[in-house]
Amino acid sequence: MAPPLLLLLLLGLLPGLLPRAAGRGPLRAFVVAHSHMDVGWVYTVQESMHAYAANVYTSVVEELMKGKQRKFIAVEQEFFRLWWDAVGTDRYKQQVHQLLQEGRLEFVIGGQVMHDEAVTLIDDQILQLTEGHGFLYETFGIRPQFSWHVDPFGASATTPTLFALAGFNAHLISRIDYDLKADMQKNKKLQFVWQGSPSLSERQEIFTHVMDQYSYCTPSQIPFSNRSGFYWNGIAAFPDPPKDGVYPNMSLPVTDTNIHLYAQTMVANIKERAAWFRTSDVLWPWGCDKQFFNASVQYSNMDLLLDYINQHSDEFGVTVQYATVGDYFQAVYSRNLTWEIRDSQDFLPYSTEPFQAWTGFYTSRSTLKGIARRASSLLYAGESFFTQYVLKHPASSICKCRALKQLQSLRWAVSEVQHHDGITGTESPKVKDMYVNNLMYGMFNVKKLMASIIFDMNNAKKNGEVYSSIYSEDSGIPGATDVDQYVVVYNPLAWNITTFVTVSVSHSAMSVYDELGRSVPAQVQRSAESHSTYDLHILVAVSGLSYRKYNVKPWNGKQSGFIGRPVKYKRKDITRADQQSRQLLPVVNNCYQVLFDQNTNLMHSITERETNQTVQVTQEFLEYHVNGDVMKGPISDNYLFAPNASAVPVSKAVGLEVVSGNLMTEIRQYFYSNITSQDYIYAMYTRMYTVPEGYDGKLLCHRIEQEYRVGPLEVNREAVLRTSTNLNTGQLLYTDSNGYQIQKRPFKAYMNNTVARNYYPMVQTAYIEDDTTRLMLLAERAHGVSSQRNGQVEVMLHRRLWNNLQWDLNYNLTLNDSSVVHPVIWLILGTKAVTNILYRTSGLALEHRPVVMFGALSDKPKLPGQLQQNSVHGSPVTVPPNLHLQALSIPGWRYSSNHTEQVRSIRMGKQKQGDADFNRVLLRIRHLYEVGEDPVLSQPAMVNLKFLLKGLGSVMAVEERSLTGTWDVKALKQWKWKTAQYPSRGFSNSTETSDNCIVTVHPKEIRTFFVYFQGQ
């Protein structure tokens, strides 16, 4: 019973001053209207636009104008931009401007998509965010300040850092391990301040809210109806919206007879959720996948319900209001509570129940993962190539606007595929085809652009042709028999590289010469995959952001290229190998000796020659057999990995061929199901390089390149490469987080599904180590990776699955992927100190291999010493070895970098129209190392931007910007949430800027600048 008022007054406690937990009081629910719109998943973007997505924005804008209390949050910019450009009328556009000014429409995240967090690269996350933010700032002068990462399958520690750098004030996630979420919920620990980067720590921390067990959808079960609740517009219908407006599963309309029942249901849910959080502010998401395509019926029902609850708020103990995510976080922030700090540990992997480990998607659709990364790498090269060309050749013959559109087509495609049902491989086959087609179209455009720039700068004959290809096995010189062909090699990295590029040629007698007619080291050998072609491996040395031209001629008596000679060894039955009389075959270069066991034709050991340290290393392919019948137990699908038992070796016999030459040795291993099989599904090609005097061979020598050929698999097989060593690793694995930082992955034992729950994403790097030695794996696409035993690391390379789960069948999500995949992994073995120095630059060298173009160019002979580096400009661009030039591009945005000016011009309707802005160059620099990781490379690095970019022109002005370019860092004031570490709340201004173009970049910092050049 309540204490009498008199007693309270005598105690000096007025009712308003009752002692209560900070932040508690009458419950206030923030009803956040939203529609979760997948940019591809089951349906293509075009199908979604037609069936529901366009109607979301049209009807939401109409309905928000009808009620001043109504609000809505918009998330994925790809759909909004398509609506804005093709559907929105002038009246709708005017209303959007008004709603944004009134704070009733809020853009959250603001990227093109809601990116996946497990298998994406940080560069691509930043790209898609920058694309969306550039559009929003140019069009509306607004800058999103809150995230809404409600659907990615697990949460990475890179994302909070990224969003902090972009100027966000709070971050929101949902999908984390079911058992961890239950525990955090019970202990009211779903909100914390996340310091995602150990090196940046509190300088780039962000308040993070984990959604409760109901996640981002409104609870759909209502006790008084067999229809769903709170989804009055029903479920979106495909392919066409119903003509009569009647959709499946529309909730019962709110009436006088059921309004009290609706209110009770909603209030009970609000109270249940309130018990899991520290403040009396309750986030109540109203929406789900593909909602609000008929906003009229949604709001007209919810208006009645919210009014009714507020009229009876004394009875219910709750008030409710329409809100944006910003409204909710502002309310929590103003409570001024002290929050716990979470360190850089992430929330991966993610399980929804004991047998549902979402670790399969780390590998699903490996081909798509590979194309997405190749496209990203080509875009990176194309951006810097075009930027240098525009600055150096202002009066060029190439139409800059058309060129920018070519780049934009690839920016759009690479951004789109970062969606959490894109690069993850969790989409239907037709959506996978949409992503691939968009990527290929964008790549074709950028290759065409780069070829035309080469042409323009070499004044090539108009009837000449330049063919372009990314460094890959399928690149070839068309009909390279009788004419002089040029191979043009562009290095997109801002440091000097020495590497091999591979070109397919039609015969073995080839010679290669540089611009001055000097012979260039090259090796030609019969291709492993095709008997009619040869691989020409050319040793190239190219300065930062520069290109070289190599002349490839048929050999006419004077041979400059070395020939790789093949030796074929007898196929060996590995089940019967004689362990006693072991014969070892050595393959040696300056850094390693690799021994192969001739009894099995498998690798035996690797010796690092500098320290003379030998590690036993064997590699084999295995398959996990998985169940496809839901009646028989857990299944694997696009998302889930649920192995039946331990992995099974795939081959009983191994064939071996060693191709040796002066520059490289290639070990070709073919894995057969038995000793008499004709065909193989698995092969491994291992390359080791010997670099001649006069070349910097440090990186080349220190890597063992491996390419695998896997497929087509049988159905319900998951293929892994297992590398076993005698390193005493304690089953401790290290993997990268989005190519940005490293996460420690100790092996954990679970009651169920231990194998699958110990799989982690490897975006670029994984390694195992003992006290002295480390074995590193570097990848050019994402894979699942695990250490199931001491000294072991296994990488999942491919999956082919089918199951009879009705949901998967309905949406065609069964992953019957019959392709052959060719992933590449580079191995580095050595001391921790040596591998620390090598792996960052090697990982980037693998990610950004040179772009190779071919053509018959008319060429004037050069004078000795003249233009030995055909840089697009005068001098190469080179950053210190601990930095990476993460972006050099001309974004083309027309916004003013002065915020007051930008907002004024939008309010007055005077945004710049017409051509893109070619004067603003975006430069982004990243420090590659953590604090304390290396005695030298972990030091801050100083860069003089004027000197760095002198080859592009004379730098007139530099402005430091937030990560996506929309904030001037001097004006960026972010909320500082109270923690035990920082007891006072306020604003943080995190970056020190310098006015004289000299910048000091500290460990793990990513610094973004706008640079302006003289005469532009």
CB atoms within 10 A of CB 95: 17
CA distance 829 to 776: 6
CA distance 411 to 414: 5
CA distance 470 to 374: 8
Strand 105-107 and strand 72-74: the pairing is parallel
Q: What are φ and ψ of residue 538, in 5° steps?
A: -110, 130
Residues contacting 30, CB < 8 A, separation 6+? 281, 282, 283, 284, 321, 323, 327, 328, 331
Question: What is the identity of the amino acid at 128?
Answer: Q
b/e 388-415 (16+ beta carbons within 10 angstroms → b): bbbbbeeeeebebeebbebbbbbbbbbb
In the block, residue with structure tokens 């530099």 = 958
Whether residue 550 contacts residue 538, with contact meaning beta carbons closer than 8 Å, is answered with: yes
Residues contacting 959, CB < 8 A, separation 6+? 897, 968, 1009, 1010
CA distance 859 to 232: 70
Question: What is the identity of the amino acid at 862?
Answer: K
Whether residue 110 contacts residue 136, with contact meaning beta carbons closer than 8 Å, is answered with: yes
Question: 746: cis peptide before it, omega within 30°?
Answer: no
| Radius of gyration, CA atoms only, the chain | 30
CA distances from 83 to 91, 107, 108, 438 (A): 13, 15, 17, 19
**Cα atoms found within 13 Å of the Cα of residue 908, Cβ hemisphere only:** 9
Distance from the Cα of residue 707 to its chain's centroid:
22
According to the 3-state scheme, what is the secondary structure of 861-894? CCCCCCCCCEECCCCCCCCCCCEEEEEEECCCCC
Q: For CA atoms 942, 948, 953, 959, give the dihedral sign.
A: negative
Catalytic residue among 38, 151, 327, 817: 151
Whether residue 608 contacts residue 676, with contact meaning beta carbons closer than 8 Å, is answered with: no
Query: In 364-459, at which residue ranges do the beta strands (DSSP E only) sit?
Result: none
CA-closest candidate to residue 808, choices 626, 629, 623: 629
90-102 and 54-66 are packed helices; what angle lies between their axes, rounded to 10 degrees?
60
DSSP states of 219-281 = P---TT-SS-SS-TT----SSS--TT---TTPPPPP-TTTHHHHHHHHHHHHHHHHTTSSSSE
DSSP states of 526-537 = E-SS-SS-EEEE
According to the 3-state scheme, what is the secondary structure of 50-104? HHHHHHHHHHHHHHHHHCCCCCEEECCHHHHHHHHHHCCCHHHHHHHHHHHHHCC
Which residues are 724's β-sheet partners? 618, 792
Is residue 256 flagged as an active site residue? Answer: no
Q: For CA atoms 426, 432, 436, 438, give the dihedral sign.
A: negative
List the end-to-end C-alpha distance of the chain, in Å, as a whole number.
Answer: 78
Question: What is the identity of the amino acid at 794?
Answer: E
Distance from the Cα of residue 841 to its chain's centroid:
19
Structure tokens at 457: 């700068």
CA distance 264 to 309: 9
CA-closest candidate to residue 198, choices 347, 346, 338, 339: 346
Structure tokens at 40: 């591809």
- What's the DSSP call for residue 339? B
Residues with catalytic annotation? Answer: 151
